[in-house]
Copies of this chain bind each other. A is one copy, B any other.
Amino acid sequence: MFMQEIELKGHIIDSMIMTKAFDKTLDLGGDYKVLEFQVGKEKTDPSYAKLLIISSKSQQHLESILEELQNIGADIPEVEDVNLKQAEKDQCLPKGFYSTTNHQTFVKLNGEWIKVGHPKMDAVITVDPTTKTAETKVIRKIKADDYVVVGHSGIRIVPPEKPREAGQLFEFMNSEVSSEKPKEAIIRKIAKEMFEIKQEYQKNLKEGKNEGGIAIVGGPAIIHTGGGEALAKLVEMGYVQGLLAGNALATHDVESVLYGTSLGIDIESANPVLGGHKHHIYAINEINKAGSIKDAVEKGILTKGIMYECIHNNVPYILAGSIRDDGPLPDVVTDSVEAQDIMRNMVMDKKMVIMMATLLHSIATGNLMPSSVKTVCVDILPATVTKLMDRGTSQAIGVVTDIGVFLVLLAKELEKLENENK
């Protein structure tokens, strides 16, 4: 018999941590005894449980179970230091490496708990023993001799707790992905949340800290469905602190500004336009001739739209390349690994990320960011939201609706809020 005591603390009943601990242990072929249990008397009191985890198979089996339990927030008391092993070659991990969750993580080094920088899922943790710092690294960034965390000792995970304030947007967390929800009400809640985050961001700015705010991840359907103007308005109003998109969104945004069409369909009339199928290539050609989107703005060629507002309002953007791209625009980062690094930096410290009508960029961004960022995914296909959550971005709230009309109503609601709070 192989055994290990573990501890669970906090709102372990509310947040289902206790339930998950029991489930995981049994699902994985282990067993448990409850050694101690103190439940918080009042809703604000934390609870505490001490469990004995048992494997009848092997020490390795026990350790696998323990690793899973840690990933949902279990602590191993009297914990030893984290185990480190050096990588033998670039991009090659030592045996038994620890694979990260997207939750906030700590490692114990020389008896001290160190916060791991830049949480993201499916990475490893490297430790610099001299500076006593730890951070997540993806496999391709591993260098020979990097100290990589192996096993499960000396690791502590803090998953996000379910918010308790009544009427909050993020109460929806974990609810079903369904199109049959009152949409105006949901839009009002998202608007309210955005409004508050903007206030906070501006306060931060005044204090000299450029952190927080909202990042938008968007696909070209925003433009095709007629939501481009509304999104440009959001940028102008200060609700966007970073834009993560691809060549298509930028190209069709430019197309809609220069020619009034998206993929050749007139946005005002919904009719196909004479020669319209060439417009997006025209748009790329115009930007190529100017040099870049920024050049086109400065030369007065591009005078409105999403990309214009980004440049005009100093909102950083990343256009990540994909094999679907026509052109692409000179601003596109065609190397996917380089693009990921830029994307990760753009979302890491944001308060909220809103994903709009793009499966590719949504899942990509979800993979790169910590679970503590509030995440809303708006798409007409429930499958997009399901996939995003299946792939680990379980903090996401899904809103199944039509992005074109959603954005129009969201912009109106934000304008109303701004007017009411002037």
Name A residues whose Cβ lies closer than 8 Å to a Cβ of B.
13-14, 16, 18-19, 22-23, 26-29, 31-34, 37, 39-43, 49, 61, 64-65, 67-68, 89, 91-93, 97, 99, 122, 124, 138-140, 164, 166-167, 171-172, 176-186, 189, 221, 224-226, 262-263, 265-272, 274-275, 277-278, 280-281, 284-285, 288-289, 320-328, 330, 334-337, 339-340, 343, 359-361, 363-364, 367, 380-383, 386-387, 389-390, 392, 400-402, 404-406, 408-409
Partner of A33, one of B41, B99, B409: B41
Q: From residue A270, how far is it (CB to closest CB) to chain B in Å?
A: 4
Residues of B near A29 (CB, < 8 A) are: 166, 274
A380 touches B404 (CB 8 A): no
A380 touches B179 (CB 8 A): yes
Q: From residue A173, how far is it (CB to closest CB) to chain B in Å?
A: 11
Measured in the bound complex, the distance between the Cα atoms of B380 and A171 in whole Å is 25
Partner of A34, one of B41, B265, B409: B41
Measured in the bound complex, the distance between the Cα atoms of B185 and A178 in whole Å is 26
B221 touches A326 (CB 8 A): no
Measured in the bound complex, the distance between the Cα atoms of B184 and A64 in whole Å is 28
User: What is the total number of copies of this protein in its complex?
Assistant: 4
Residues of B near A339 (CB, < 8 A) are: 323
The majority secondary structure among interface residues of chain A is mixed
**Of residues A18, A272, A321, which shows the largest number of chain B Cβ atoms within 10 Å of its Cβ?**
A321
Interchain residue pairs with CB less than 8 A apart (19): A13-B13, A18-B18, A27-B166, A34-B41, A67-B275, A122-B280, A179-B380, A180-B225, A182-B224, A182-B265, A182-B268, A182-B270, A183-B226, A184-B226, A185-B226, A189-B269, A325-B337, A334-B335, A402-B406
The residue of chain B having its C-beta at the shortest distance from the C-beta of A246 within the complex is B323
Q: Take A19-B19, A43-B32 as given contacts and tell me if A326 and B405 are in contact as well, using a CB distance cutoff of 8 Å.
A: no
The residue of chain B having its C-beta at the shortest distance from the C-beta of A339 within the complex is B323
